[in-house]
């Protein structure tokens, strides 16, 4: 019986190199919502088909607000993907979530203001349930892979997405902590919302790169700091994806 699982991988910085997938090809596509952020890299991990999109474009040239999230998600839907693994950098709002740790959120809080966050913004009004926006089955498989690979992770956490491209103030960072948020980024929303609207199983693979600005003993967060941690850990991300994809059902 032919395997109907097909995994979309939305990569952040450092995921542009497709050498970790087999028999890959690239192609340009477009959708009724415009062009996705990058060309597609299509290939296999074991016998599972995968499709990679670089969220911020080649060389990280698209800021979070300007990402065409609808085109990215619609592209993966058009490619017959059934699941999405979304790699994202995040700031930690908790002492125990150290830079380099993986985080698999199960909830989000939306603080974006300038993004189109639905496919249903015209006469086709639909109200999509969002009580459980992330895929528990994908989370469980990621946990098993981390245990097998010896990676430190945190699961069932809340991610807060801000508009960006600026970072938070100390007052904002502490407010988000008081709300019960565990990590902070600029890309999960509306990506996760749109994936749910299109019936795709979605799970973030968040990698802590810094302590945001609430942590008084740490230096202020900078892009240089984030890139340094991501460069160090991107190989772990690829190992995690390579390990988990064959186990997705």
Q: Is the pLDDT of residue 2 over 60?
A: no
Question: Is residue 40 one of the residues assigned to a domain?
Answer: yes
Residues 31-72 have pLDDT tens digits of 999 999 999 999 999 999 999 999 999 888 999 999 999 999
Domains contained in the chain, number: 1
Question: Which position among 121, 147, 182, 210 bears the catalytic label?
Answer: 210
Phi, psi of 29 (to 5 degrees): -140, 165
Residue in this structure with the two tokens 């088909």, named with its chain if needed: 49
Q: What is the mean pLDDT of residues 71-98?
A: 97
Check the CA dihedral 57-59-60-61 and report its sign: negative
Question: Is residue 1 one of the residues assigned to a domain?
Answer: no
**Domain containing residue 188: CATH number:** 3.40.50.1580
Question: Is residue 173 one of the residues assigned to a domain?
Answer: yes
Q: How confident is the model at residue 81 (pLDDT cuts 50, 70, 90)?
A: very high
Q: Is the pLDDT of residue 1 over 50?
A: no
**How high is the pLDDT of residue 18?**
79
d(CA 173, CA 170) in angstroms, rounded, equals: 5
What's this model's pTM, rounded to 2 decimal places?
0.94
Question: Is residue 237 one of the residues assigned to a domain?
Answer: yes
Residue in this structure with the two tokens 């970072």, named with its chain if needed: 167
Tell me if residue 243 is catalytic.
Answer: no
Number of C-alpha atoms within 13 angstroms, CB side, residue 8? 28
Question: Is residue 74 one of the residues assigned to a domain?
Answer: yes
Q: How confident is the model at residue 237 (pLDDT cuts 50, 70, 90)?
A: very high
Query: Percentage of the chain with pLDDT > 90?
Result: 81
Phi, psi of 117 (to 5 degrees): -105, 15
**Nearest Cα to 207, choosing from 240, 174, 242?**
240
Estimate the crossing angle of helix 188-197 against helix 69-78, to 10 degrees: 40
Of residues 32 and 20, the one with the higher pLDDT is: 32
Q: Is the pLDDT of residue 152 over 80?
A: yes
Question: Is residue 239 one of the residues assigned to a domain?
Answer: yes
Residues 112-125 have pLDDT tens digits of 999 999 999 987 88
**How high is the pLDDT of residue 123?**
76
Q: Is the pLDDT of residue 80 over 60?
A: yes
Residue 89 sits in which domain range?
Answer: 6-247
Tell me if residue 210 is catalytic.
Answer: yes
Question: Which position among 147, 212, 220, 243 bears the catalytic label?
Answer: 212
**How high is the pLDDT of residue 13?**
59
Q: Left, alpha or beta for 19 (phi > 0: left; psi -120 to 50: alpha)?
A: alpha
d(CA 176, CA 165) in angstroms, rounded, equals: 17
d(CA 20, CA 131) in angstroms, rounded, equals: 34
d(CA 218, CA 8) in angstroms, rounded, equals: 35
Question: Is residue 97 one of the residues assigned to a domain?
Answer: yes
Question: Is residue 10 one of the residues assigned to a domain?
Answer: yes
């Amino acid at each position: 019986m032919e395997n109907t699982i097909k995994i979309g991988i939305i990569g952040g910085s450092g995921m542009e190199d497709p050498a970790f997938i087999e028999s890959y090809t690239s192609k340009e596509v477009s959708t009724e919502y415009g062009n996705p952020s990058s060309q597609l890299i299509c290939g296999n991990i074991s016998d599972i088909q995968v499709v990679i999109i670089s969220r911020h474009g080649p060389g990280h040239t698209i800021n979070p607000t300007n990402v065409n999230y609808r085109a990215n998600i619609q592209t993966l839907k058009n490619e017959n993907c059934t699941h999405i693994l979304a790699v994202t950098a995040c700031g930690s709002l908790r002492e125990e979530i150290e830079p380099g740790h993986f985080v698999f959120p199960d909830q989000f809080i939306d603080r974006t203001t300038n993004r189109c966050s639905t496919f249903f913004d015209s006469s086709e009004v639909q109200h999509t349930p969002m009580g459980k926006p992330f895929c528990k089955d994908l989370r469980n498989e990621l946990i098993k892979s981390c245990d097998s690979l010896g990676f430190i992770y945190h699961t069932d956490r809340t991610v807060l997405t801000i508009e960006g491209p600026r970072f938070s103030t100390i007052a904002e960072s502490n407010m988000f902590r008081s709300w019960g948020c565990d990590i902070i980024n600029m890309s999960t929303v509306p990506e996760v919302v749109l994936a749910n609207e299109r019936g795709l199983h979605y799970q973030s693979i968040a990698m802590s790169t810094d302590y945001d600005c609430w942590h008084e003993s740490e230096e202020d967060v900078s892009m240089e700091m984030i890139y340094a941690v991501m460069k160090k850990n991107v190989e772990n991300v690829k190992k995690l994806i390579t390990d988990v994809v064959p186990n997705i059902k």
